Amino acid sequence: MIEIQDIFNQFGDEYRRNHKLPLHILKTMIAIESCRTAELGGHVDECNECGHIRISYNSCRNRHCPKCQTLAKERWLEKRKDDLLPVGYFHIVFTIPQELNFITLTNQKEMYSILFNSVSETLIELSRDKKYLGAEIGFMSILHTWGQNLMNHPHIHCI
């Protein structure tokens, strides 16, 4: 299965030459490209019983790296299951017009703050309205910055 690391390794240099990216995104791309490769070094594990040797390359530990964060994601999901109440849930996704993607990419703190506040205010206002629910709700929101096609597509998932 193709991974983000494969895409970055194949197309990352050209993409960086043709697009001006913020420093933190450049660092993330480079970290993902290097993750679990000889570039980050490695270590040797040897079984005390049979002497079998296994060489493992070091991880980048970047919070955006799928290789590094899969286990953390699974643990987080399991803990969230403990928080669920025995009631029905709704999954709602809020996004912004694609024309604002570049502005969001270059002004993340401000734009993500506006997006989270808008989502929160919208959910609270609509849920209080008797026409829709007439209730106080609780919700959890998660920001995704990429779409399934791995392009910049900021959106918020709410449960």
Share of the chain above pLDDT 70, in %: 99
Q: What is the DSSP string of the chain?
A: ---HHHHHHHHHHHHHHHS---HHHHHHHHHHHHTTSGGG-EEEEE-TTT--EEEEEPP---TT-HHHHHHHHHHHHHHHHHH--SS----EEEE--GGGHHHHHHSHHHHHHHHHHHHHHHHHHHHHSTTTT-S-----EEEEEE-TTSSEEEEEEE-
- pTM recorded for the entire structure: 0.61
- The lowest-confidence range among 31-40, 45-54, 120-129, 148-157 is 148-157
- Cα–Cα distance measured from residue 26 to residue 9, given in angstroms and rounded to the nearest whole number: 13
Question: What's the pLDDT tens digit per position in 48-69?
Answer: 999 999 988 999 999 889 888 8
User: What does each C-alpha distance from 48 to 57, 102, 106 come to in angstroms?
Assistant: 20, 54, 52
